[in-house]
Chain A
């Protein structure tokens, strides 16, 4: 794709991706951070679509949106301060983070500046999807199949672990250790009462 609309779109998306990436670390709200990261990824996906890698770009939208939403749920459920009502430091080891960030940016910028990138206008490849399919099912079939089966097993395992009913009964009924006498009733054991005032590890 060529033409000034594409160039404008590219610059808008690129600046957007960087700006939203920066916003991730400047906001106090974990949920806003998550969705700022999502927008940054969506911008990158849109750039990939501009580069005519349609399938990869749209698949990126798909995957990143699900991942970021799951992350947002985890923020709400587990972490402190999802709404940003408390001021917050978003990075651990701030000095190290700054140094690593600057080095990484410098390194990537150097690669982009000094590498010998082709400057030929992209011609729409007719069969990217076909090529992708042949690659996935041909050269990389073992890899894809292994990954696929592993993912499936993980999903089934996660569902099995979180299911409320297991092989030995309801998950919410506690286990009762047996007594020494094999015919006697198991020990009556009350489930640990949750303590609403217990504090769990946080960030100082």
Chain B
């Protein structure tokens, strides 16, 4: 009785989002029967959504082992899953039902997934000193293969312990596939290096203008939902996620009214992650340049957009607030264009996440350089929020729009 009652409760799911899996996250956030948790240790089911790049496979195995047993693994549209995990594959449509079924089986103990990595430490404690100390006297050393933090001078002259960490690629809050390698002193990033995935979804061939603009609206609103969640407003993030699944102009206005209040989202994002105009010009990320008023837009020269009025970009300020206001503006405009575009097609679309004229690798490199400059020397919370405001192509869901492309 207790089992069936709790099995009707929301199943806690940790979503490991790979390339192109963002729509899954939004669908689950909006759903009642599923709880998205921010830590694998509170999850019942590990959901892998989107493609898994090669380098991210072993971190995924670590995340899998952090989910307490009994646990289940479900995969949606995930190419490149590591062979050790035996996921239950599902389509986006039947996802919630699959998760509920797996969840209830786990609760009665009928389903489990074994540990993938060994539970014992592969590296021994290696002592140097007479009492087994690790390194220089009572400091330092490499206990169990992990380097102890040693002191280093900080930017304000204090000599604090500096911790070298890699955050990502599966950390909720960071864009999918993004790694942030830091030298952390206190909570200030004295050294930082960002890496974005060099593969990602693309749109090739002739695509309908309406599809591209719909994709743009869904993508930008999806980014906004994730940013809102990371900024400490999970309830509003649900509202935005619901809108991102099915955007409407009235919905965008309603969301803008709720978020863009003086004591609302801007409290978290004002003044965070400032980028200069020069930094964003020519970076290959169209929307980012447009957020600073720089008119880099392939749509202006595209014959397919003749007669459709494109608004001139305004400088919204270089901080995170400016960027998400740009997302709302562009989403609203994209919906209007999708309405008016009817059957036009184009072969050089202005992608929601950047310019199609730049290759994926070049864009990733430029993106990473920009992000590194924005987060170096910042405090950790600001750095994560800044990265959440600089998502890549992997945070868009292209599969859905590809289905609408004429053959």
Residues of A within 8 A of B (CB): 76-78, 80-81, 85-89, 162, 164, 171-172, 191-192, 194-200, 202-204
Q: Tell me if B152 and A85 are in contact (CB < 8 A).
A: no
The chain B residue with its CB closest to the CB of A174 is B155
B330 in contact (CB, < 8 A)? no
Q: How far apart are B150's CB and chain A's nearest CB, in angstroms?
A: 7
Contact of B161 among A77, A192, A202, A204 (CB under 8 A): A77
Q: Are A204 and B137 in contact (CB under 8 A)?
A: yes
CB pair B155–A86 under 8 Å, yes or no, is no
Residue from B132, B143, B150 with most neighbouring chain A CB atoms (10 Å) = B150
Q: Which B residues contact A (CB, under 8 angstroms)?
A: 131-141, 143, 148, 150-156, 159-162, 183, 186, 190, 377
- Please tell me if the beta carbons of B139 and A202 are within 8 angstroms of each other in the complex: yes
The answer to whether B138 and A202 touch across the interface, beta carbons within 8 angstroms, is yes
Q: Given A86, A88, A196, which contacts B162 in the complex, CB threshold below 8 Å?
A: A196
Q: Is the CB of B186 within 8 A of A191?
A: no
Partner of B155, one of A77, A88, A89, A172: A172
Q: Judging by beta carbons under 8 Å apart, are B159 and A200 in contact? A: yes
For A78, A86, A196, A203, the residue with the greatest tally of chain B CB atoms inside 10 Å of its CB is A86
What are 17 pairs between A and B in contact, CB < 8 Å?
Answer: A78-B159, A78-B160, A80-B137, A81-B148, A85-B143, A86-B143, A87-B133, A88-B138, A162-B156, A172-B155, A191-B155, A194-B153, A195-B152, A198-B152, A198-B153, A199-B150, A202-B136
Which of A162, A191, A196, A198 meets B183, CB within 8 Å?
A196
Q: A86-B134, A194-B190 are in contact. Are A80 and B139 (CB under 8 A)?
A: yes
Count the A-B residue pairs with Cβ separation under 8 angstroms: how many?
Answer: 71
Contact in complex: A77, B138 (CB < 8 Å)? no
Q: A196-B150, A200-B151 are in contact. Are A86 and B139 (CB under 8 A)?
A: yes
Q: How far is the CA of A192 from the CA of B152 in the complex (A)?
A: 12
Return the contact of A192 from the options B134, B153, B162 (Cβ within 8 A). B153
Cα–Cα distance between A197 and B141 once the two chains are bound (Å):
12
6 smallest CB-CB distances across A and B, nearest first, come from A80-B139, A87-B131, A204-B137, A194-B153, A194-B152, A202-B139
Residue of B nearest to A76 (CB): B161
Closest to A204 in B: B137
Asked if B152 and A196 sit within 8 Å, CB to CB, the answer is: yes
**B133 pairs with A86, CB closer than 8 A:** yes
Q: Are B143 and A203 in contact (CB under 8 A)?
A: no
A76-B151 Cα distance, complex, nearest whole Å: 11
Contacts of A86 in B (CB 8 A): 133-135, 138-139, 141, 143, 148
Residues from chain B with Cβ under 8 Å of A196 in the complex: 150, 152, 162, 183
Query: Contacts of A77 on B, CB cut-off 8 Å?
Result: 160-161, 186
Nearest-neighbour CB distance to chain A for B288, whole angstroms, equals 25
B137 touches A202 (CB 8 A): yes
